[in-house]
Amino acid sequence: MPRADRSPGEFYQLDIEMSFVTQEDVFEAVEPVLRDVFEEFGGGKPVTPKFPMIPYRESMLKYGVDKPDLRNPIVIADVTAEFSRDDVTFNAFKNVIKSGGVVRAIPAPGAGKQPRSFFDKLNDWARGEGAPGLGYVIFEGEGDALTGKGPIAKFLPAAAQQAIVAKAGLKPAMRCSLPATNPTKPPSSPAPRASASATNSAFAKKTCSSSAGRRLPDV
């Protein structure tokens, strides 16, 4: 059985003879074929009209993986600047930043209502992956007046919290996971983003969505 995270092109060989072509030429030739396959065998599900072109670095930043499932609405944000503020006193992250690391924010819709054991399991998973832990803040309130709570919220003044809310597009009852890591070390899996979407699974199985990843250096 084919794995669910792979496209039909990875299981059925399509030979194309092309000379003196660019990367864009290959995409333009192959994309219509893949789109037609999804339209014919997708069971009536809508298919992405034009596959988005996602540079490798952008994909790793926003989705934590180079083959993202775009049906998942979770987008990771870089909040290194917010944790570098002078009024932020969370030294655990500041020390990571000083050593060249970064801080990412992963919004998790609805996760704010989860029990403490839910967060403890995620923290244990992060430690198993070699991280010192996985910080988080739960945002509550109405409209734009959101207030954070949780183990590290007290180290974040209101202005810093609002900056994180704006950067990560947070809404009430959202949990914001905050891993701090070395940007040169790629994640071993897309699990952080996938686990964040587990509490908001409405996106699943409703669309056929594909993207083309560029592995060439971004210029």
Percent of the chain exceeding pLDDT 90 equals: 34
Letter string b/e over residues 69-82, b meaning 16 or more CB atoms within 10 A of that residue's CB? beebebebbebbeb
Rounded distance, CA 179 to CA 74, Å? Answer: 15
Rounded distance, CA 202 to CA 205, Å? Answer: 8
Residue 180 φ then ψ, to 5°: -115, 130
Mean pLDDT score, 177-192: 62
119 versus 157: the higher-pLDDT residue is 157
Please report the pLDDT score of residue 6 as a whole number. Answer: 63
Q: Which of 80-89, 112-121, 130-139, 142-151 holds the top average pLDDT?
A: 80-89
Please report the pLDDT score of residue 210 as a whole number. Answer: 41
Please report the pLDDT score of residue 54 as a whole number. Answer: 92
Residue 55 φ then ψ, to 5°: -60, 150
Rounded distance, CA 43 to CA 3, Å? Answer: 19
116 to 74, 122, 139: CA distances (angstroms): 22, 10, 15
pTM metric for this prediction: 0.73
Q: Do 150 and 56 form a contact (C-beta atoms < 8 A)?
A: no
Radius of gyration from C-alpha coordinates of the chain:
20
